[in-house]
Amino acid sequence: MTAASITDMVARNLCTGCGACAGAFPDLIRMVDDPVNGRRPVAKPGPEGRRAAQEATAWCAGGSTSWEDLARADAVDRDWGPVLAAWEGWAADDEIRHRGSSGGAVTALAAFALSSGAADGVAHIAARADDPRLNAAVISVDRAGLLRGAGSRYAQASPAESLGTIARGAEKVAFIGKPCDVASARKAMEADPSLGAKVPLTIAIFCAGAPNLVATGRLLDRLGVPKDGRLVDLRYRGQGWPGLMQAEWIDASGARQVSAGISYAEGWGTILQSERRWRCRVCADHAGAFADIAVGDPWHAPPEGDTDAGRSLIVARTPRGEAFVEAAIRAGVLVAERRPRDVIARAQPNLKATHGAVWGRRAAMRMLGLPAPRDRGQGLMRLWLGLPLRQKAQSVAGTWKRVLRERLWRRVRIAESSR
């Protein structure tokens, strides 16, 4: 579904919060952190703001994408988007491997982009220094900057805000984001070829959805952070695979306190994922089909504990991505072995069913008169037809129940007081 403006995208539950619109028009569109609805854009009142909100839709993948131009040769590509090659491996640098969410492959590839001269900077996200609950879009030019962003950030983030800075600059900047962020980056580069010339590489991180600040608050409560404590660090994953969720804060006496860690399974499975926004639940790309390289967890060979040495699943989506991974391996930056191209189905066994269920959810939305995203050429109906009858029915009936329970027909309103 294509909306008339970014404001309409937000109001109709189509916005992914990528931030591309604010990057394109930084003086007229700003991103705010709404506790319930997530990180969303707000346009400046008046005709200039309305015009910017309309023009920014060219950079937005929230309402629609097109898979028709993606190179897909066989059943693997049709299910997952282009898969030219796949590897399982990890960063050769021990610190990067330890700090990363799985094997540190994303940070290792980003560092190689800088050291090889392929890029002058890397756009990614990192925890905000003044409030670690929140994320900031940053462009790093050295190892220290990249390490600030190492590890997962299970909170709303808008890395595509950096696209405007890249477009207005002269440097080459690699881009890292969630699949929806990279999809918007691709649309932005198609709309502005000069931007495309400045982005030598895109890397997507497999994603199951981004929780809101309500979920973050529940996590902090579980970790025992007092309401009067000043949060100084919140780690979701990393320091081993999959890593523990842990917080640090300054208490009323000025002493630094560190919580006990809880497992990824508990933190994600019982606290965070329930507060993913509705747009995440109707997302049809959790594996970064529009990127040059996509990286995720190889859950088919899971770690034995919470802090084992990590491994990453690395997928080349384009010839440029394949050549870059191979160069990183030759340079000794990555330790990696080839895997069959269909490895994603084993590594992420739930994703194919999730993509299939999305067609049923979207169909239910349209039956109820609600707008739904469109991903032309992806073949979601084919995936839905392959589901067991019970899952087909659940994807439709479950959506009707959620629409009624959460009143999803109401227009989303972003709190102006949000920061």
Rounded Cα–Cα distance for residues 319 and 374 (Å)? 26
The pLDDT of residue 89 is 98
Compute the radius of gyration of the chain from its Cα atoms.
20
How many structural domains is the chain composed of? 1
138 domain-assigned: yes
Identity at 2, one-letter amino acid code = T
Residues 6+ apart with CB under 8 A from 110: 122, 124, 140, 146, 174, 176, 203
The pLDDT of residue 352 is 86
The pLDDT of residue 2 is 59
β-strands 121-128, 29-34 pairing: unpaired
Q: Are 103 and 310 in contact (CB under 8 A)?
A: yes
64 domain-assigned: no
Structural domain that includes position 159: 72-419
Q: List per-residue pLDDT tens for the chain, 419 residues long.
A: 556 899 999 999 999 999 999 999 999 999 999 999 999 999 999 999 999 999 999 999 999 999 999 999 999 999 999 999 999 999 999 999 999 999 999 999 999 999 999 999 999 999 999 999 999 999 999 999 999 999 999 999 999 999 999 999 999 999 999 999 999 999 999 999 999 999 999 999 999 999 999 999 999 999 999 999 999 999 999 999 999 999 999 999 999 999 999 999 999 999 999 999 999 999 999 999 999 999 999 999 999 999 999 999 999 999 999 999 999 999 999 999 999 999 999 999 888 889 999 999 999 999 999 999 999 999 999 999 999 999 999 999 999 999 999 999 999 999 755 44
Q: Are 6 and 160 in contact (CB under 8 A)?
A: no
Query: For 213-318, where are the alpha helices, taking DSSP H only?
Result: 213-222, 264-266, 278-281
Residue 255 per-residue DSSP state: -
The pLDDT of residue 416 is 59
Q: Which residues of 4-15 are buried (b: 16+ CB within 10 A; e: fewer)?
A: ebbbbbbbbbbb
Rounded Cα–Cα distance for residues 101 and 207 (Å)? 12
62 domain-assigned: no
Our measurement of the distance from residue 120's CA atom to the centroid of its chain's CA atoms, rounded to an integer in Å, reads 23
Bin 370: left if φ > 0, else alpha if -120 < ψ < 50, else beta: beta
63 domain-assigned: no
The pLDDT of residue 4 is 86
Look up residue 251 and give its two tokens: 């208490």
**How many C-beta atoms surround the C-beta of residue 205 within 10 A?**
24
58 domain-assigned: no
183 domain-assigned: yes
- Whether omega before 200 lies within 30 degrees of 0, making that bond cis, reads no
297 domain-assigned: yes
60 domain-assigned: no
